[in-house]
Structure 1
Amino acid sequence: MSDDILSIIPVEPQWQPEHDAVERVVSLVEKLVPGAGQGGGVELDVRWHDAVTFVDCGSNLETISCPLCQAALDTKWWSDALTDRYDDGFTTLTADVPCCGGTTSLDALNYDWPVGFARFEIAIWNPERVWFSEDELAALADGLGHPVKQIRAHL
């Protein structure tokens, strides 16, 4: 059986919210996602990570391109870049892209579908919705006190 996971993460990979802000946002998620919360069939998983971790989109990932020159990036190069920078978490996301030789961040690459890097995540397992709207994302960001983005994974 496959799973879908809709994750909310801060835009800034190192940022983590206060616990009371998370409680407010979890309450909001429970209102926005049918079946989430106590007694519902949708599982909420709130995670604080000690180091920056990769939040992927699973099999939804289609392409990766350079934000500097827009060239397509080879998935082997990208996979090696992730592996080279990971040591119990990501200590740096800086990378020199092979297409134009420029320096950028792995977080700044253009991903189709979105992925991210974060030390905090709210993962909603098998939600009965695809995405949050822009207004809903703004409300989640206001609740946490920091801009957020969403990642949809299919595993």
Structure 2
Amino acid sequence: MSDDVLSIIPTDPWWQPDRAAGERAAALAEELAPGLPGSVEVEIDTTWHDALTVVDCGANLERIRCPQCRASIDTEWWADRLEDHSQSGFATLAVEVPCCGAATSLDLLNYDWPCGFARFEIAVWNPERDWLGDEELAAIADALGHPVKQIRAHI
């Protein structure tokens, strides 16, 4: 069986909220994505990661582009960067892109579908909706105390 996961993460990959703010934001996310009667039950996982962690879009990833020259970046190159840090977390997101050699950051690559990196994540499993609207994201950001973005994964 496949799953869809709608993750909400801070826009700053290194930032973490305190417990009360994280729990408030997770409760609001649960209200905004309650699932449909008779469908797969929605599960909310709220995680404070010890190390910086990738939050990717799973099978939804179509392509990655360089933020400097706009060239396509091979997803295998990206997967290798993730593999390099899979056990220990990311000490840095700094990379030199293979297309033009520019110095950038993994979180600044242009992902189609969105991907990110975080030390805090609210994951809504099988939310029975696609994306949260701008007002909903703003409400979660207010509850959390920091701007947020969303990642939709199909796994």
TM-score tier (shorter): over 0.9
CA shift, 1:85, in A, is 4.2
CA shift, 1:13, in A, is 0.9
Query: Partner of 2:62 in structure 1?
Result: 62
Q: Are the aligned partners of 2:9 and 2:150 in contact in 1 as well (CA < 8 Å)?
A: yes
Is there any run of 5+ residues in structure 2 with no aligned partner, and where? none
What amino acid sits opposite 1:17 in the alignment? P
Map Cα deviations across residues 11-48 of structure 1 (whole Å, 9 max, x no partner).
Answer: 11110001111222122122211249xxx921000011
RMSD: 1.5
**Worse overlay, 138-147 or 25-34:** 25-34
Query: Partner of 2:75 in structure 1?
Result: 75
Query: Partner of 1:143 in structure 2?
Result: 143
Equivalenced residues, count: 152
Does residue 123 (structure 1) correspond to residue 123 (structure 2)? The answer is yes
Distance 2:130 2:27 in 1: 19
Distance 2:44 2:27 in 1: 11
Query: Partner of 1:95 in structure 2?
Result: 95
Under a length normalisation based on structure 1, what TM-score does the superposition of the two structures give?
0.93
Aligned-residue identity in percent:
64
